Structure 1
Amino acid sequence: MREYIESQLARGRGYFTKEEALAELGLSAEAFQAAIGRVKRKGLLVSPRRGFYLILRPEDRQLGAPDPSRWIDPLMKHLGLDYRISLLRAAAFHGSSHQAAMIFQVIAPKQLPKIAVGRQRVDFLFQTSATFEEANNPAWLSKLKTEAGFAQIAGLELTLLDICRYFHKAAGINGAAQAVHDLGKNANPRILAKAASAYENSAVRRLGYFLERFGHNRQAESLKDFAKKAKSFKALDPAVKPLVAELGLLDEKNPDWMLIINVPVELEA
């Protein structure tokens, strides 16, 4: 097993699957598990999912696992699922220096439990299959280059839409606003309008409001048709609506985006 691990590293692969190792080593399942147990106890391997193993190089051992960008693509292929890296890591990739890129978030068309290996954590967000298939257009994705190859990451427009859809997982309303402030001017209005058709209308309106607020007017204009289709006002942050309703703070309405601005929006200095 030690020789097999070294051969994987020599090929530039920091991972392997149980099936691959069994085929190459010719071990029984019992012997394989015993060998895996020995190298795990020596701190050479960790397993983020059953049957998928990460090889720990010396530089990885302090954090207990390699950065997920190096193994998310082969892991998702092992699971037979399409995916995209998004939210905070994607915002940092596109140039939002305020975002906490240590949180690694992945959107997939299946509900998956989070992964915690060492100090590395991967959070999965579920998007329904039909919506995911529409949104995960290869033309709207980017490639995150790593020493192990490439991983799929949301393009700039999808990143903004994802952050405004899943803002509760992206440092809240202020985190979403910060990303739109930092990145909105670089979004392609045509792609933004096309990709937005895969998202809930309220999320698109939230993004449009932020774009307009921060002066990214061309991008905001591309989303105005979505606001025109809205039949009712929605709270900017639905989670705090019951609280602010008691305080009488639901009076500020934005008719252009059909939003109730029920929370203050604050950016980092």
Structure 2
Amino acid sequence: MRHLQLDYRVGLLRAAAFHGSSHQAAMVFQVIVPRQLRAFEIGRHRLEFIFQGAAFAQVNQAKYLGQLKTDAGYAKVSGVELTLLDCARYFHRAGGINGLAQIVKDLGGATDPVKLAGLAEHYENSCVRRLGYLLEYMGHALQADALRPFVRKAKSSALLDPAVKPLSSVLPGVREPQPAWGLVVNELVEVDS
């Protein structure tokens, strides 16, 4: 990344594993960058680049990052709070909603509520509410409460998992409103014990 003169951070599943959430085996090295790049392979390793637009410069600061030791030196890795928000934003690349829930269960207690709320200002309201709901669902009330002010800013309800569609319009599927988070829970959340 140095020769491209491009800032970056290791994120999502790889960052979650770095912080202790090892339920999700990362088959790919996920790197968050401020511009679009193609994925590629080096030997047996696959690198996937995830584009983050305007918010990248505000959240990719040393106070929100850690360091991952590699053979070539140190790499920037998302801190716990940034990992949770990135996984909530890009949950489809972090094992789906259940993969996100597992990461929240594993890392939620280690999250600094003040840092989490500050970082959440730079993320879409729906993903912040999704994370808040899962933090509360997994028993991390202090961290969830830090995200409650974002519910008041919501203009409409969002689906917990927007990708889930019922097979038929006759079969309604799961649709449980969660007004406390401005969400409609349309998928059952399951995690490993």
TM class by smaller structure: over 0.9
Equivalent position amino acid for 2:22 in 1: S
Q: What is the Cα-based RMSD across aligned positions, in Å?
A: 1.4
When Rg is computed on C-alpha atoms for both structures, the one with the higher figure is 1
- Give per-residue Cα distances to partners, 1:203-261, cap 9 Å, x unaligned: 00010000000110110000000111111111011011354765213531000110110
- Name the residue aligned to 2:105: 181
1:233 aligns with 2:157: yes
Displacement of 1:194: 0.3
Question: Would you say the 8 A contact 2:34–2:51 is kept in 1?
Answer: yes
Q: Return the alpha-carbon distance in structure 2 between the equivalents of residues 204 and 243 of structure 1.
A: 28
Q: Which has the higher helix share?
A: 1
1:247 aligns with 2:171: yes
Displacement of 1:103: 2.0
Unpaired segments of 5 or more residues in structure 1? 1-75
1:100 aligns with 2:11: no
Q: Find the residue that maps to 2:142 and give its secondary structure.
A: helix
Q: Return the alpha-carbon distance in structure 1 between the equivalents of residues 20 and 167 of structure 2.
A: 34
Q: Return the alpha-carbon distance in structure 1 between the equivalents of residues 75 and 175 of structure 2.
A: 45
- Name the residue aligned to 1:172: 96
Q: Find the residue that maps to 1:77 and give its secondary structure.
A: coil
- Give per-residue Cα distances to partners, 1:163-206, cap 9 Å, x unaligned: 01100001111100000000000000000000011100000001
1:124 aligns with 2:49: yes
Q: Return the alpha-carbon distance in structure 2 between the equivalents of residues 246 and 268 of structure 1.
A: 32
Question: Would you say the 8 A contact 1:84–1:136 is kept in 2?
Answer: yes
Displacement of 1:134: 1.2
1:54-93 alignment, distance < 5 Å: 76-93=1-18
1:1-269 alignment, distance < 5 Å: 76-128=1-53, 130-241=54-165, 243=167, 246-249=170-173, 251-269=175-193
Q: Return the alpha-carbon distance in structure 2 between the equivalents of residues 226 and 245 of structure 1.
A: 32
Provide closer, same or farther for how the CA distance between residues 219 and 115 of structure 1 changes in structure 2, counting only shifts above 3 A. Answer: same
Q: Return the alpha-carbon distance in structure 2 between the equivalents of residues 126 and 246 of structure 1.
A: 38
Q: Return the alpha-carbon distance in structure 2 between the equivalents of residues 155 and 217 of structure 1.
A: 20
Q: Return the alpha-carbon distance in structure 2 between the equivalents of residues 246 and 88 of structure 1.
A: 36
Higher RCO, 1 vs 2 (CA within 8 Å, ≥6 residues apart): 2
TM-score in terms of structure 1 length: 0.69
Q: Find the residue that maps to 2:163 and give its secondary structure.
A: helix
TM-score in terms of structure 2 length: 0.95
